[in-house]
Chains A and B, each alone.
Chain A
Amino acid sequence: MQIHIPDNPQYRELGAYIQDVKHQKGPLIKVLHKAQSIFGYLPREVQYFVARELNITESSVYGVVTFYNFFSTKPKGENEINVCLGTACYVRGADKVLSMLEDELEISNGETTKDNIFSLNTARCFGACGLAPAVMINEEVYGHVDRKKIKKMLSEYRTKEE
C-alpha cells in the first residue's frame, strides 16, 4: 500500500533528525521519541515514514510502538486523564470510575474528545493506594473519586481552556 507523506515542516524536522542519528546503533527508539514529540502521537503515516527513512520494515516499527506504553498511536488531548486500575483502586470500583469518565466525556478508553481537551487512558498503580479509587490528570492526583468529583474536575479543566 502506498501512503502519501506530505511535505511539511514537521516531516522535514523529523527527516533531518533521522539523517543525523541513522548510523548510530539502534536508532529506532530515539527516532520514535522524537517523532512523538513533534507530532504528539504516532499515526500510521509517521510510522510509515520512520520505517522508510530508516530503511527497516514497517512491522519492526509497529512492534516497538505497540510494545511500549509510552508511545501512542492515537492523538492525545491537551489534558491526559489516567484512571488507576491497580489492585487497590480496582477493588474500590476503578472500573466504575472509568465508565463514568467514558460517559461524561463521550469517548472510550484510549480516545480523545472531539474538542481535543481530554484524552482518557488507564494505568497500573501510581502509588496513591491510600486515595483509592484514584485518577490522575496530567501530573495532579485526585483521590476517592466519585461522579460528583468527576464532574467538578472536568469542568475546572474546561473553564481553564476558555
Chain B
Amino acid sequence: MGKLVTIKIDGKEIKAEEGSNLLQTARDAGFDIPGLCYYDKVSPSGACRLCLVKIDGMRGLTASCTVKVNEGMNITAFDEELEGHRKAIVELLISEHKLGCMTCEVDSGCGLEDLAYRYDVTVDNLPFPARSEHLPVEATSPVILYDPNKCILCERCVKACYEIQGKGILSFAERGIDTYVATDLGGLWVDSNCDGCGECIQACPVGALVEKPSIGKARKWEITKEETICPYCGVGCRIEVEKKGNEIIRINGADGPANDGRLCVKGRFGYEYQMNDSRLTTPLIKENGAFREASWDEALDLIADKFTGIKNKYGSGAFAGLASARCTNEDNYVFQKFMRAALGTNNVDHCARLCHASTVAGLARAFGSGAMTNSIKEFEHADCILVTGSNTTETHPVIATYIKNAVQKHGAKLIVVDPRRIDLVKYATLWLRQQNGTDVAWLNGMMNVIINEGLADEEFIRSRTEGYEDFAAVVKEYTPERVEEISGIPKEQIIEAARVYAQAENGSIVFSMGITQHITGTDNVLSVANLAMLTGNVGKLYSGVNPLRGQNNVQGACDLGGLPNVYPGYQKVVDPDVKAKFEAKWNAKLDDKVGLSVTEMMDGAGEGTVKALYIMGENPMVSDPNLNHVEASLKKLDFLVVQDIFMTETTQFADVVLPSFSSYEKSGTFTNTERRIQLLNPVLDPPAGTRDDWQILQDISNRMGYKMNFTSAEEIMEEVADVSPIYGGVHFKKLGVEGVQWPCKTDDENDRGVLYLHKDTFSRGLGHFSPVDFIPPAELPDKEYPYMLSTGRILFHYHTGTMTRKVSALNSFESGPYAEISPELAETLNISENDDIRITSRRGSIVTAARITDKVAPLSVFVPFHFAEAAANRLTNDALDPIAKIPELKVAACSVEKA
C-alpha cells in the first residue's frame, strides 16, 4: 500500500492512497460520479468524458478516471455546469444509440439506460435528431453478438481483450461516426483468432456485446446469481452462475483468487451439458447384455452382494477402484476409505497416473512435495518464465493470460521449449524446438552451460541442497554440441536460453504433460528440479517449479489418497506407524502393500487377478493408452460398477451404472493446481433420481457392514482434517471466497496455508540433485512407422469429451476429431486439408480428417485425445515409466496414408 494522502471532494476530506485512480477513489467514498468507459481491470481511456470534474489549479474540466490522486487535491465533482455537461453527453449517446431496450439482453443492467434514467433523457426530449441509419449486426461468432448500433465506443472490450486476456483481437476500425469494433484484419468474427473467452462481453457496459447462447432466455429481473467453482480445468476459476429457476442462463467470471474475474470459453459457455436430456437419472442394471432401469435399493443391494461374494471367494486383492479427478475432495476421501477400509485393498488410483504421476514421484524425490511450488497469480511477476511441455493457452487458459500479462505489461522474458509451435511462441523471447522425447538432453545442456559460465547459484547449492557432485559429473557430458545432436536444438539457442533463465531474478518453470508423459517422465521432472535448484530459482516468491494439473480436482484426488501408495495427505501405506494410525481412526484392518496403478489394474483384469472394478466418474475407454487392451480387460471383469452423470464409452461395459451429481449441483471442495482448496456451492438442484457420489459409496459400504455415517460434505472434511496433517486446518467455515492453500495445518483463522513452498527449507529438508542420463523414447520412427505421433488437449474440449461434446457452443468451435500434419508431410503424401487420413501404429489404427498446419514439426502428427470416434489412444504406447508407471502418451511411431 502506498502513502496515504488527503484530498477534498466537494468540501469533504478524504484519505486515499497516493497514485490511486481519482474516479475510483471518489466512488469508493460515496460520490456517484457517472462514467461508462472506466473499467477497473484495464487502463483508463478517458473516452466517454462523463466523469468530468474540476480540479483546483488545472484548467478546464478533467476526466477524473485519467487522474492519479495527489496530496492536497481539491475537487469539484458535482455542480450545475458539470451535471449539464454530463446530461449533454448522455443526450449525444442516446441520439446515436439504437434504442432497443425492450428486447435487449442487458435491459435493467445497462450503464447507458441507467444514466438516461438518472438525467431524464428520452428520444422525445433530445435537442438533436436521433440517428436513423443502422449498421448490420455481426453475429458470426458461435458465442458473441456485436451490435454496432448499440456500441458507445468506450473501448473497454478492446482493452479487455488485449490487457486482460493478452490477445489483442479487437480494435476500433474507421473513424468518426463510422467507427466500429473490428476483429483482426477486419474479417468476420468467426474467422478471426477470437477463441470465445467472452472477456469483452463481460467488459461491455451496454448491450453491444452479448452472449449468443443466452439471447431470449431471461429478463434480468428473473435471474438469481450464485457463485461456485468452474467444473473444468485445474485453474479453478470462480464463476458467477446466473439462473432462472433451475436453468443456467449465463456464466460470468467472478473475482476468485485464481482468476480475478477472468474465464475461458469452457468456463463461460460450457454449461449446457448440465441440462442435457441424456443425464442419467436412475440406476441401471445390465441383464442379458442390455441395461434396464432399477431402484436404488435394488442396485445397491446387488453391488453389496456381489462384492461380498467376490471378497469371500477371492479376497481383497480382487478389487480395484478408480477415484476421480472431477469429483470433490470429499467424494474422493470416502472413495478411498471405502476401498481401503471396507474392501481392504490399496488398489486405488485414478487418471492422475496418466498425467502427473511422474511429477509427484520426481518432485517428491527432489523437494519432498509434488505440487506447484508457487501460486497462479505469481506468474505475472516472474521476470523469466520457461514453459515446456505445456500448451498453456489451450489447457490452462486463464494461467496463460497471466503469463502473457507478464510479457506484455512487465517485460518478462518467456522461453518456450516445445516441439509444437504453440500459441505462446508468439509471446516468447526464445523458442526451442526439441525432438520429441529429448527433454533430459536439453535440460542437461542448459545446465552444462550454466555451470561452465559460472551462472550457478553456489550459495543456494551449498546451503540448501545435496547430491551436487554426482549430478554435475553427469551434466558435464552434455555439451551444447552433443545436445544439439540429440535434441535438434541449435547449440546457440541452448546457450542463450541457459543465460536468460540463469540470470533472471525470479525464474519460474511451467510444465505439464509434454514433460511427464514419457517413459522418462520422472527423469524429466528430476531434471527440471535440478535446473531450478542449480540457479536458486525455487523457494522464492514468483520463482519455482510449477507443474500444471489438468482437471478441476486432480490435485485434490491425489491429496485425498486416490493413489495406491498413500493415504490422504501423502502418508505412505507401507509405513507401519501410518497404517496403525489409520487402522485406529477407521476401525478397520488395512492392507500394508502398495496397490495397483491404473495400467496395472487393466493388466490384472486382463489376466483375471482383478475381478471387480469400481469406477467413479472416469472414462478409461477414451483416456487410457492402448485402448484395444483396455477394452479386452474390461470385458474380462466379473463385475464392473460405474458412477457417472452420462453413459460413456466405459459405462457400456458396466454391470451396474449409478447416476450422480454434476459439479454445479455439488457441495464440497475442489483443490486447484496451486494447492488451493475452494468451496463449491450447489447452485442448481440435481435431477430427481440422482445421488451424490459420496452418498452412494457410503450406502454400499453400510450394506457391506462397514459403517460410515457422514451427513454432509463438511463433516467429511472434518475427518480429513483430523487424519491428514496438510489439510489439518481446512474447515468449511474458514474457506470463504479465498480458500486456503495446503499445507494448512492449524485451525487459526489467519492460517491461510502457504503461498509458495520450500521457503528457507525444502519439505524434505535439503533439495536433492539427481544425476540423470538421457534415454531415448521407447518407440521411435522407423521404416514401417516413419512419423512421430503425439497427443494432447485442445481449448474447446475437456478430457474425454463427455461434458464438452454436449455443449453446442463448444462444438461449433470444434466438433470432432482431426489430426495436425505439416505442410511438408501433406505435400509428400499428397494430402489436402480435410482429407480423411489413416494413422496406424503398432497397436491400432484410426481414420480422421487432416489439418495442415506449421504448428507441428515436419515429420510429426498431432492428434487431440478427446474424441472417441477417432481415439488417439487406440494408437498410443502403454510403455511405462519404471518409477511412476506413467505411460508414454506423448511419443509413438506411426504411419500415415490417405484413407
A59's partner among B174, B182, B191, B853 (CB-CB below 8 A) is: B182
Chain A residues with CB below 8 A from B336, complex form: none
Min CB gap B854→A, angstroms: 8
Task: Kindly list chain A residues whose C-beta atoms are within 8 Å of the C-beta of B169.
Answer: 57, 59
In the assembled complex, A48 has its CB within 8 A of some CB on chain B: yes
* Contacting residues, chain A, for B59 (C-beta < 8 A): none
Rounded to whole angstroms, the CA-CA distance of A2 and B822 in the bound complex is: 13
**B174 adjacent to A66 (CB under 8 Å):** yes
Asked if B463 is an interface residue, CB under 8 A from chain A, the answer is no
Contact residue among A56, A61, A67 (Cβ-Cβ distance under 8 Å from B185): A61
Q: How far is the CA of A1 from the CA of B189 in the complex (A)?
A: 11
Residue of B nearest to A3 (CB): B185
Residues B183 and A59 in contact, CB atoms below 8 Å apart: yes
Residues 163-213 (chain B) with a chain A CB within 8 angstroms: 167-175, 182-187, 191-193
Contact with A along B404-431 (1 / 0, CB 8 A): 0000000000000000000000100000
Smallest CB–CB gap between B538 and chain A, Å? 31
Does A60 lie at the interface of the complex (its beta carbon under 8 Å from any beta carbon of B)?
A: yes
- Report the minimum CB–CB distance from B862 to chain A (whole Å): 15
Do A62 and B853 touch across chains, with their CB atoms under 8 A apart? no
| B162 lies within 8 A of chain A by Cβ | yes
**Does any Cβ of B come within 8 Å of A147's Cβ?**
no
A57-B169, A66-B174 known; A48 vs B185 contact (CB < 8 Å): yes
In chain A, what residue has the closest Cβ to B176? A67
Q: Which residues of B contact A58 (CB under 8 A)?
A: 184-185, 193
- In A17-73, which residues have CB < 8 Å from any B CB? 44, 47-48, 51, 55-63, 66-67
Decide: B162 and A57 in contact? CB cutoff 8 A: yes
Would A59 and B170 be within 8 Å (CB), given that A1-B193, A47-B185, A66-B186 are in contact? yes
CA distance A51 to B192 in the complex (A): 14
Expressed in whole angstroms, the minimum distance between the Cβ of B146 and any Cβ of chain A is 14
A61 to chain B, nearest CB (A): 7
- Complex CA distance for A2 and B185, rounded to whole angstroms: 12
Cα distance A55–B183 in the bound complex, in angstroms: 17
Q: Is A62's CB under 8 angstroms from B162's CB? A: no
Cβ A67 vs Cβ B174 within 8 A = yes
Q: Which one of B172, B191, B193, B426 lies within 8 Å of A63 (CB-CB)?
A: B172
Query: How far, in angstroms, from A62 to B187 measured CA to CA in the complex?
Result: 10
Interface residues of B in 136-173 (CB under 8 A from A): 158, 162, 167-173
- A44 CA / B175 CA spacing, docked (Å): 19
- Shortest Cβ distance from residue A29 to the other chain B in the assembled complex, whole angstroms: 15
Report the number of A-B residue pairs with Cβ-Cβ less than 8 Å.
54
B182 contacts A63, CB within 8 Å? Answer: yes
A62→B168 contact, CB < 8 A: no
When distances are taken between beta carbons in the complex, the residues of chain B under 8 Å from A63 are: 171-173, 182
In the assembled complex, which residues on chain B have CB atoms less than 8 Å from the CB atom of A66?
173-175, 182, 186
- The majority secondary structure among interface residues of chain A is helix
Q: How large is the interface on B (under 10, 10 to 19, 20 to 34, 35 or more residues)?
A: 20 to 34
Q: Which of B354-398 contact A (CB under 8 A)?
A: none
* A67 CA to B193 CA, complexed, in Å: 22
Are A59 and B175 interface neighbours, CB within 8 A? Answer: no
Measured CB to CB, the nearest residue on chain A to B158 is A59
Report which of A1, A51, A60, A61 forms a contact with B191, defined as CB distance below 8 A: A1
Give Cα A67 to B168, complex, Å.
Answer: 17
How distant is the Cα of A62 from the Cα of B185 in the complex, in angstroms?
5
B393 to A: closest C-beta gap in Å: 15
B168 / chain A contacts, CB cutoff of 8 Å? 56-57, 59-60
Interface flags, B216-230, vs A, CB<8A=1, else 0: 000000000000000
| B182 pairs with A62, CB closer than 8 A | yes
Instruction: Select A60's contact among B171, B183, B186, B426, beta carbons within 8 Å.
Output: B171
State the Cβ distance, B777 to closest chain A Cβ, in Å: 29
B410 CB → nearest A CB, Å: 17
Chain A residues whose CB sits within 8 angstroms of the CB of B175 once the complex forms: 66-67
Q: Which residues of A contact B426 (CB under 8 A)?
A: 55
Does the CB pair A62–B193 fall under 8 Å?
Answer: no
B50 CB → nearest A CB, Å: 24
Q: How far is the CB of B218 from chain A (nearest CB, A)?
A: 32
- The CB with the most chain B CB atoms within 10 A, among A44, A57, A58, A59, is that of A59
- Kindly identify, within residues 86 to 134 of chain A, every residue whose CB is under 8 Å from any CB belonging to chain B: none
Tell me the complex Cα distance, A57–B192, Å.
Answer: 12
The chain A residue sitting closest to B162, CB to CB, is: A57
CB distance from A41 to the nearest CB of B (A): 14
Contact (Cβ within 8 A) A62 B174: no
**Complex Cα spacing A55 to B425, Å:** 11
Contacts of A48 in B (CB 8 A): 185
Bound-state CA distance A1–B184 (Å) is 10
B191 and A62 form a contact (CB under 8 A): no
A44–B192 Cα gap in the complex (Å)? Answer: 13
Give Cα distance in the complex from A127 to B183, angstroms.
Answer: 37
Contact of B184 (CB < 8 Å), options: A55, A62, A67: A62
Identify which of A1, A44, A51, A62 contacts B173 (C-beta below 8 A).
A62
- B173 CB contacts on chain A under 8 angstroms: 62-63, 66-67
Distance in angstroms between the alpha carbons of A62 and B181 in the assembled complex:
11
Q: Which residues of B contact A1 (CB under 8 A)?
A: 184, 187, 191-193
Distance, CA A67 to CA B173, complexed state (A):
6
Would A44 and B185 count as touching, CB distance under 8 A?
A: yes
Cα-based distance from A63 to B182 in the complex (angstroms): 8
Q: Which residues of B contact A57 (CB under 8 A)?
A: 162, 167-169, 171, 184
User: In the complex, which of the residues A47, A51, A61, A66 has the most CB atoms of chain B within 10 Å of its own CB atom?
Assistant: A66
Nearest-neighbour CB distance to chain A for B535, whole angstroms, equals 28
CB distance from B407 to the nearest CB of A (A): 11
Q: Give the shortest distance, in Å, between B708 (CB) and chain A (any CB).
A: 55
Point out the residues of chain A lying under 8 angstroms from B185, CB to CB. Answer: 44, 47-48, 51, 58-59, 61-62
In the bound complex, CA of A61 to CA of B183 (Å) = 11
A55 to B813, CA, bound (A): 26
Mask for B28-70, Cβ within 8 A of A = 1, else 0?
0000000000000000000000000000000000000000000
Chain A residues in 8 Å Cβ range of B172? 63, 67
Alpha-carbon distance A60/B161, docked complex (angstroms): 12
Alpha-carbon gap, A44 to B182, bound state (A) = 14
Give complex CA distance A66, B171 in Å.
Answer: 10
Q: Tell me the bound Cα distance from A67 to B167 in angstroms.
A: 21
B181 to A: closest C-beta gap in Å: 9
The smallest C-beta distance from A44 to any residue of chain B, in angstroms, reads 5
Q: How far is the CB of B400 from chain A (nearest CB, A)?
A: 16
Residue of A nearest to B168 (CB): A57
- Assembled-state Cα–Cα distance A56/B169 (Å): 11
Find chain B residues with CB under 8 A from A59 CB: 158, 168-171, 182-185
Max chain A CB contacts within 10 Å: which of B167, B170, B191?
B170
Output the least CB separation between B774 and chain A (Å): 34
Residues of A within 8 A of B853 (CB): 2
Report the minimal beta-carbon distance from B420 to chain A, rounded to whole angstroms: 14
Contact partners of A62 in chain B: CB under 8 A = 171, 173, 182, 184-186
Inter-chain contacts of A47 with B (CB < 8 A):
185
Provide the bound-state CA to CA distance between A61 and B182, in Å. Answer: 11
A137 to B333, CA, bound (A): 81
CA distance A61 to B192 in the complex (A): 14
Q: How far is the CA of A60 from the CA of B167 in the complex (A)?
A: 11
Which A residues are in CB contact (< 8 Å) with B183?
A: 59
* A48 CA / B185 CA spacing, docked (Å): 7
Closest B-chain residue to A68, C-beta based? B175
With contacts A58-B185, A61-B185 known, what are 19 further pairs, Cβ within 8 A?
A1-B184, A1-B191, A1-B192, A1-B193, A48-B185, A57-B167, A57-B168, A59-B158, A59-B169, A59-B171, A60-B168, A62-B186, A63-B172, A63-B173, A66-B173, A66-B174, A66-B186, A67-B173, A67-B174
10 contacts between A and B (CB under 8 A): A1-B191, A44-B187, A47-B185, A57-B162, A58-B185, A59-B171, A59-B182, A63-B172, A66-B175, A67-B173
Q: Which 3 interchain pairs have the tightest Cβ spacing?
A: A57-B168, A63-B171, A59-B171
B: which residues have CB within 8 A of A? 158, 162, 167-175, 182-187, 191-193, 426, 853-854
Q: A residues near B, CB below 8 A?
A: 1-2, 44, 47-48, 51, 55-63, 66-67
